[in-house]
Structure formats: C-alpha cells, structure tokens
A = this chain, B = another copy of it.
C-alpha cells in the first residue's frame, strides 16, 4: 500500500509509492517508446490494460474492453495511489501519515496511435474534455476524496512514460493539495480586500493591455501569465466566472476544445514539438457552505495551466521556490500570436 506522508516543517504531502518501490539500480535511463503493435492504448489491444472505467463509444452495441470506442478511461497500471481501503490517518512520533488511498486513471484520447493532442481534431478534443468532466463528477461521489487533478505529461523531459499514444491522467487525492490551498487562499485574500475575483480582474487587465494576450475567443482567453514560471507558459481561462471546471456546458466545451487545440498547435509550431505538462486547476470537491472556505464559489476561478518544459529546474528553484524564466511573457505572447497554427 502506498503511503501519504507529511513533511512536519512545511506541511507538504509526499506519496511514497511503495508499489513502484525502486532500488538503486532500478532508475533506468529513458526507456524506448513502444511501437504501435505493442501499444496497450491502441484500438484492438484493449486486453493489455486493466478493465475500462468509462468510454465514449461509437454508436451501436459494444462489449467492454473491445474495439469501437473514441475515448477510453482505464485505471493506471502503475497507480501511485490505490482505490481500495480507508484513510487510516495516523502518527509516527512527530510525523503524520495516511494510507495512499486515491484514484489514478488514464484517459486515452484517441483509438489511433497518435502522439499529441495537437494532432487531434476539434471534435476529438471535445470528447476528451467531456470525458474529463464525467470522470471528475463520478469521483466526486466518493467521500474519501477531496480533490482531483487532471493533467498531461508530454515528452520524456516532462515526465511522460514510454507510451507515446496520446493520453492524459487524473489523480484523486484524499487531501487538498498544498498548491491548491495556496491558490484558494490567495484568491480569497484578494476577494476579502476588493470584493472581486482576482482571476476576473486578471482577465480584464490582460484584455485591456493586450501585452500578454495570445487569444480572446468564444468566451475564453489564453494569456502568458505576468509571473510565468516557465518560458512560453500559457493559461487558458473562461471569461465567465466559474470556480468549477466540471460545470462547463456543451457549447463551452466546444469553444474550449477550439482554444486548447489552437494553443497546443501554436506551441508545437513555435517551439518544435516541445515537452510540456498541462494541469486543470478547479475547486475542491466539497465546497463548504459555512466557515472559512464558504466563499470559494465567488473568489475562485478554474483555469488550465500549460507549461512547456524547455528549461531545467535546478537547485536554486528547489531551494527557494523561485523560478527563473529566460523568456519575458510579453515576448512569448507575441511569438505565439504571430505563429500560424495551421502552417
């Protein structure tokens, strides 16, 4: 069973993923990419994955774990958290820990052996986003879970595995992650002072100034954030205030698919298919009706953060939490506006 352990000084949780336990010799160099025939995510190879949890299927009758799907969600074969069991919070002297309970799922974004979301068409990305929402809403029912993070790792330098077939992942956690709490707290502090959502203000300032605006289309903006941690970092935010990604409705999903696809294609064109991570930041599962966090609906605003991984994170960053970014976001925005995503 994996364990969740809390650093006693800064309160940071770490997953000690004992199921993947590694000895000194197990840290291999980059593994070879899997070819099409060996790929467990390809249509026809459904037997190579754990049983599917959810699919968007072709019309007609289909047996589980067979051909005929467009998006398929399966449990991770190397889960960092386990779905079974209770939390078992306990102490060990001055330390705190709990069982590594959670969900770890893989969203296979296409039945075809394609590697990047930039190569999928809009209607396919639309289905991927729909699958994200469906899975979040299902996992929300499990009272053990407090948060779910949907994320994507693309390219070895961004932590992707040897499976190149286009996929995202999600991990549901039994605690609210530190960074999420920091965002909630920052947004709340601003709201307390201004009585406005900080992200709504940010969107307004970015549209007014245009300096860091990459796109403003159909209810979404894409901006290079003022304090970008990574070169060519891009955030996509809905212009209408909403704290909860899983609340977005049909037409909005289509628009988001269009904007996400355009940005991913622009990044691919401008930077030569860079490694990247993206994460969806949304409100925690259970929004309290009273007490300190009761205002999340007003003061938090969901968004997607896309982080190309062109620079290495080194000692200074790990020691301070500072980031060093050699590309001013104003320059990045200009390049991204100018690059033709369809060229």
Contacts and interface: CB of A to CB of B under 8 A. Distances in A.
Interface of A: 3, 5-18, 20-24, 27, 80, 92-95, 147, 149, 151-153, 156-160, 169, 171, 173, 177-180, 182-183, 186-187, 190, 198-199, 201-202, 205, 209, 225-229, 231-232, 270-272, 274, 277-281, 305, 307, 310-329, 331, 335
Contact of A8 (B152, B226, B323, B326): B226
List the 9 closest pairs (A to B, CB-CB), nearest first: A159-B314, A279-B319, A151-B315, A177-B320, A277-B315, A179-B321, A159-B312, A178-B321, A7-B227
Most chain B beta-carbon neighbours within 10 Å: one of A3, A23, A322: A322
Given A12-B322, A80-B316, A305-B318, 5 more contacts: A12-B321, A12-B323, A13-B322, A22-B326, A92-B226
Contacts of A274: 27
Contacts of A307: 315, 318
B202 A8 contact: yes
Contacts of A187: 9
A198 B14 contact: no
B320 A198 contact: no
Contacts of A190: 8-9
A321 B181 CA distance: 10
Contacts of A94: 198, 201-202, 205
B12 A229 contact: yes
A interface secondary structure, majority: mixed
A173 B321 CA distance: 12
A325 B17 contact: yes
Given A319-B151, A328-B21, A10 B186 contact: yes
A313 B278 CA distance: 13
A11 B321 CA distance: 11
A312 B159 CA distance: 5
Given A27-B271, A319-B279, A326 B17 contact: yes
Contacts of A335: 23-24
Contacts of A159: 311-315, 317
A173 B27 contact: no
Contacts of A20: 326
A202 B331 CA distance: 47
B209 A93 contact: yes
Given A16-B325, A228-B14, A229-B14, A179 B320 contact: yes
B179 A327 contact: no
Most chain B beta-carbon neighbours within 10 Å: one of A159, A226, A318, A335: A318
A331 B22 CA distance: 9
A328 B16 contact: yes
A22 B8 CA distance: 39
A195 to B, nearest CB: 14
